[in-house]
Amino acid sequence: MSLINIIDFPVLGDGRGALVALEANHHIPFEIKRVYYIYGTAQGLARGFHAHKELKQVAICLKGSCRFVMDDGKGKQEVILASPDKGLLIDAMQWHEMYDFSENCVLMVLASDIYDEDDYIRDYQNFLQEIKKC
Ligand code: T46
């Protein structure tokens, strides 16, 4: 089973440039309750290192590039996000780590719920224990 689920968004391009429109429950497979974005990332530093118990997310690299490592407790797979017309689905109970942010990277994330620290599993051993119960 692939841990990398990329959603290709339709690009409505014309002579003036490109336009991508994302609709909840259509292009994005959930109701969007929160949008956040990451930019100005320190060079050489990684982020993530957690899984979410319930939250579903789609990550879109609007500018530049970054690398995601996705982990289901049995295996790991990597993907580079470098295009604003592609979204990476980060499902619940997928451990994820983000590396190699380019200097100009702008990473936008659409999330199925508002921020809740209790939904995070930030300890990898705890994640491995929880995944066995799924
Ligand atoms: C994820 C990956 C892809 C908030 O207060 N509200 C928010 O909506 C978010 C996303 C974060 N925060 C606070 C929590 C921390 O004190 O901002 C701080 C940095 O968050 P964190 O260390 O979790 O950042 P990342 O880049 O490691 O992870 C983020 C998301 O938190 C996470 O849900 O899946 O991006």
72 is a domain residue: yes
So what's the pLDDT on residue 1? Answer: 81
Helices (H), the chain: 124-133
Position 1 in a domain = no
Nearest CA to ligand 1 atom 12: 115
- Does the predicted model carry a pTM greater than 0.85? yes
Residue 47 lies in a domain: yes
User: Can you give the pLDDT at residue 46?
Assistant: 98
Q: Is 50 a catalytic residue?
A: yes
The number of folded domains in the chain is 1
Give the C-alpha separation, 76 to 68, whole Å. Answer: 10
Give the pLDDT of residue 15: 97
Per the structure, the complete domain to which residue 40 belongs is given by 6-133
User: Is 82 within the bounds of a domain?
Assistant: yes
Instruction: Give the nearest ligand 1 atom to 59 CA.
Output: 3
- How far is C-alpha 128 from the chain's CA centre? 20
Could you say which residues of the chain have pLDDT below 70? none
Residue 24 belongs to domain with CATH number:
2.60.120.10
Among protein residues, the one with the nearest Cα to ligand 1's atom 27 is: 48
Atom of ligand 1 nearest to the CA of 47: 27
Classify residue 87: in a domain, yes or no. yes
pLDDT given for residue 37 in this prediction: 98
Beta-strand ranges (E) seen in 29-102 are 34-39, 47-52, 57-63, 66-71, 76-81, 86-90, 95-99
Beta bridge partners of 112: none
